[in-house]
Amino acid sequence: MSNSTIDPAILAGIPQRPPFLFLERIIERSAQELHCQNLLTGDEDFFKGHFPGNPIMPGVLLQESIFQTGALLMSDQAEGKGVGIITRVDRVKFKRLVRPGDLLDIKVKLNDVIDSAFYMQGEIRVAGELACSLKFTGTLLKESR
């Protein structure tokens, strides 16, 4: 993935960049929900070692895809005043292997905001089939630079 194929709103909303950016397009956006996509080409570095001859996207990177979507949703809520970080993860479930060529549909819903805590839930589907789901909490880290 190169910066030229990434939705500029993603680049403006979160600090991650390739090769550690796992969002490509924004499909639908509201104050409470965000739907992004990422097409896995098979050229991603993590497929080279996880696992040679049987490439599978690591579960932690599926989670990171959801977290990046959540961070983008938090940045919308906070008008870009800080970087979204994760403070808690609950009820992680992996239901389907994710492989090269898969199109990830990543959806995050904001359930509540209490003080500086953003309570969210997210999921990834591939061809309509649930691949990963979780609940998580995030907050905004004020940039010190």
Ordered by where they begin, the domains of the chain are: 3-141 (3.10.129.10)
Closest-CA residue to 96 (of 63, 59, 64): 59
Which residues are part of the catalytic machinery? Answer: 50
- For tokens 């690591």, the residue is 58
Mean pLDDT, the chain, integer? 93
Contact 36, 24 (CB under 8 A): yes
Instruction: Kindly report, residue by residue over 27-47, the tens digit of the pLDDT.
Output: 999 999 999 999 999 999 999
- Measured between alpha carbons, how far is 5 from 80 in angstroms, rounded to an integer? 22
Instruction: Kindly report, residue by residue over 70-118, the tens digit of the pLDDT.
Output: 999 998 877 657 888 999 999 999 999 999 999 999 999 999 999 989 9
